[in-house]
Amino acid sequence: MFVLRRLFSPWFRAGGAACGAWRRDEKLTVVLLSYGRAINLNTIVAACLTCPFVHRVILSNNNPSVDMRSFVRSKDPRLQSIQQQTRCYPSKRYELARDCGDQWLLCIDDDTFLTPFQIRALFEALLRDPAAPHGIAGENFAEAQGQVSYVFGRPGEPEEAACLVWAYAFTREHALRYFEILAEIGMDNSALKANEDIVLSLSGMKRPLVHNFGTLHLCGSRESEDVATSKQPGFRTQREDLFRRVSAISGLRTEQ
């Protein structure tokens, strides 16, 4: 279902050719973050900017010790780079998504390489059904704590999941609801060091939807304990606890 990739590969050129022209009025804003995988961002940014429907790409470098200009070489005027002066966590992207004021939004993890075709397909899925956040992979939690199963959807048939992982297509309304949920559970976004995808996934009027748009290309560093947040002690327990807290106030059906 997915392939581990570290750097540029032929999938990008093939996906770009398949992206095609865009004749709709709606435009997509992509919000990207970089912390421990700066080397991946040039490829991810390039894939986004290949898409004619991408209005802008907001790239936030959350690692003050890294000069992102050494890694991302694009001069495209649609690219807006932000150098954070203090360390920020992945939840920062939802502040950027909210504050940009745009309607149609996409966040992609820095270890996930979507082709332009996949970006387009995900955007079109969101336009068809804006009540739910959309993604290319998800998770379901078992009753036994620590047990999780991945959801990849079936070709041509989206599948519900407890939460999305790796990529997130959503609306401005979802971004605003994200912060309402945090307020309701008494959490501040800046203190949310991980698992912010749980909150975004449950911000819609419907459960999040996972689509199968072909092979997923993921960075091998996602298995590294030195880089991957998901490999840190206590991650799964904290994730499931947050899911239960958010589920209790989201109003969404969460049985799996």
pLDDT band at 250 (very low <50, low <70, confident <90, very high): confident
Looking at residue 193, its pLDDT comes to 85
What are the residues whose beta carbons fall under 8 Å from the beta carbon of 58, sequence distance 6 or more? 29, 30, 31, 32, 80, 82, 96, 100
Cα gap 3→99, rounded to integer Å: 34
Classify residue 256: in a domain, yes or no. no
* CATH number of 50's domain: 3.90.550.10
Classify residue 170: in a domain, yes or no. yes
Classify residue 137: in a domain, yes or no. yes
Looking at residue 16, its pLDDT comes to 53
Classify residue 219: in a domain, yes or no. yes
Classify residue 255: in a domain, yes or no. no
pLDDT average, residue stretch 15-23: 73
Share of the chain above pLDDT 90, in %: 66
Classify residue 187: in a domain, yes or no. yes
Residue 21's φ and ψ, nearest 5 degrees, are -75, 160
Classify residue 83: in a domain, yes or no. yes
What domain count does the chain have? 1
pLDDT above 60 for 113: yes
pLDDT band at 7 (very low <50, low <70, confident <90, very high): very low
Cα gap 208→51, rounded to integer Å: 24
pLDDT band at 87 (very low <50, low <70, confident <90, very high): confident
Looking at residue 92, its pLDDT comes to 95
Place of tokens 């989201």: 250
pLDDT above 50 for 97: yes
Classify residue 55: in a domain, yes or no. yes
Which domain, by its residues, includes 74? 2-250
Looking at residue 36, its pLDDT comes to 86
Cα gap 114→168, rounded to integer Å: 12
**How many Cα atoms sit within 13 Å of 116 on the Cβ side?**
23
**Which range among 17-26, 158-167, 170-179 shows the weakest confidence by mean pLDDT?**
17-26
Share of the chain above pLDDT 70, in %: 83
The pLDDT tens digits for 188-222 are: 998 888 899 999 999 999 999 999 999 999 997 65
Q: Are 94 and 200 in contact (CB under 8 A)?
A: yes
**Better-predicted residue by pLDDT, 109 or 233:** 109
pLDDT above 90 for 58: yes
